[in-house]
């Protein structure tokens, strides 16, 4: 993994060659958002990007961003150091090449508003979970009860999603599992053929529109 200092050198090199056009890829509540920016300076192990007048993203909510350079450099993950609304500029630092994180960020994965229940069935036992996020390919859920020791990455299970747009059952495979003090988060990939994913499509598109509207309101207030 390249050091942050070396990535700064790489950014300085492309700036010297007058490559200034970049994009920043961010997510808000799971929704990806791309903003065109101009690289203005690289100094003190930080980079300054200028924002165009059309950029209305609520930058005050961003902690990390992905820097894209039309394939010249690998996607770079960076920490948001500072945002100056008056100057239309942002400063980022603590760089690291992003690797596979780019494909994960590009997937439309939305977080629900309020509580959405998910019923999990594992080895004939049912467990109630709460939906953390949802995409066409899978779901993230939180389970507050103690799960059996057999619930590990790779485990096959069944889900029943109770969406306002409709209820449907799906088969899934646990991709990863993270235990917290009072809950366990499961990342589940849908498997097999789902006859009708229309409720998922409607949920994602409606929620995406709501999140985009929320972002616009935050940008106006910022």
CATH, residue 180: 2.40.10.220
Residues 6+ positions from 132 with CB-CB distance below 8 Å? 111, 139, 140, 141, 142, 185
Q: Establish if 176 belongs to a structural domain.
A: yes
Q: What residues make up the domain containing 146? A: 117-209
**77 and 96 both lie in a single domain:** yes
Q: Please report the pLDDT score of residue 219 as a whole number.
A: 66
**54 and 102 both lie in a single domain:** yes
**102 and 149 both lie in a single domain:** no
pLDDT digits (tens, 9 = 90+) for 187-196: 999 886 655 6
**85 and 124 both lie in a single domain:** no
Question: What's the whole-model pTM score?
Answer: 0.64
Q: Provide the domain count of the chain.
A: 2
Q: Establish if 192 belongs to a structural domain.
A: yes
Stated as kind and residue range, the H or E segment containing 143 is: strand 138-143
**15 and 78 both lie in a single domain:** yes
pLDDT digits (tens, 9 = 90+) for 19-56: 899 989 888 787 778 888 999 999 989 999 998 776 65
Domain boundary at 66, 87, 106, which? 106
- Please name every residue paired with 178 in a beta bridge, in sequence order, or none if there are none: 185
Q: Establish if 122 belongs to a structural domain.
A: yes
**96 and 125 both lie in a single domain:** no
């Amino acid at each position: 993994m390249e050091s942050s200092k070396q990535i700064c050198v790489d950014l300085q090199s492309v700036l010297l060659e007058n490559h200034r056009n970049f994009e920043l890829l961010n997510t808000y509540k799971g929704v990806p958002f791309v903003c065109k920016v101009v690289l203005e300076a690289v100094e003190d192990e930080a980079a300054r990007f200028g924002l165009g007048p059309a950029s209305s993203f609520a930058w005050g909510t961003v902690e990390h961003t992905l820097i894209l350079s039309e394939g010249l450099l690998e996607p770079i993950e960076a920490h948001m150091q500072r945002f100056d609304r008056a100057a239309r500029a942002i400063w980022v630092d603590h760089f690291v090449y992003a690797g596979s994180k780019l494909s994960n960020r590009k997937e439309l994965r939305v977080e629900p508003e309020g509580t959405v229940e998910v019923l999990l069935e594992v080895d004939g036992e049912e467990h109630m979970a709460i939906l953390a996020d949802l995409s066409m390919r899978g779901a993230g859920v939180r389970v507050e009860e103690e799960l059996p020791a057999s619930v590990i990455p790779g485990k096959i299970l069944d889900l029943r999603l109770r969406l306002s747009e409709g209820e449907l059952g799906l088969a899934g495979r646990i991709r990863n599992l993270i235990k917290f003090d009072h809950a366990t988060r499961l990342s589940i990939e849908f498997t097999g053929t789902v006859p009708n994913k229309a409720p998922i499509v409607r949920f994602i598109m409606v929620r995406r529109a709501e999140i985009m509207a929320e972002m616009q309101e935050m940008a106006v207030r910022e």
